[in-house]
Amino acid sequence: MAHEDGQIYWYDPDPRAILPLDSFYIPRSLRRTLKKRKFDIRINTAFAQVITECAAPAPGREQTWISPEIMDAYIKLHQIGFAHSVEAWHDGQLVGGLYGVAINGFFAGESMFSRMRDASKVALVFLVERLRTQGYMLLDIQFLTDHLSRFGAIEIPRSLYKHRLAQALRVSARFEDVS
């Protein structure tokens, strides 16, 4: 993460927050939104735009950890197939989404944004379903937030996290369709 001083620091929080794929919870109001099919969900069609939106100031978050150097690094990771975006589109406009890094059966969710109610939440539901169907074992979210706790996010000790990470890295999984 980038700090105000411009330096990039590595974080390894203890406890670590994860979103268990097998107990992911979709709130009732979001289920209604999903049934309405308000959003067109796309994968990797606007990665740079997603990370730019995630880095933009928002109410209550005027500063961001996503510096230009970090953006460049993630865009390069995307270009070589490790970083991915899940995007929510409405009437041809990108209105929400998220991005992260996939390595074998591990996905590190990095950031999300929303310009329309429930857009990023719908992208998250799509991400979890994609990870489940593609054989992923671990969705890392680093830090627990009230927003993600509504979906079943939990904190686990670093030692357990490292064990789960080692297991996930041994699993062969692909984020993109293998067609």
Longest dimension (CA), the chain: 45
Q: Is the pTM of this model over 0.75?
A: yes
Work out the average pLDDT over 153-174. 97
pLDDT digits (tens, 9 = 90+) for 115-159: 999 999 999 999 999 999 999 999 999 999 998 999 999 999 999
Q: What is the dihedral of CA 61, 65, 69, 72, to 10 degrees?
A: -80
Domains detected in the chain: 16-169 (3.40.630.70)
Q: Is residue 73 a contact partner of residue 103, using CB atoms and an 8 Å limit? A: no
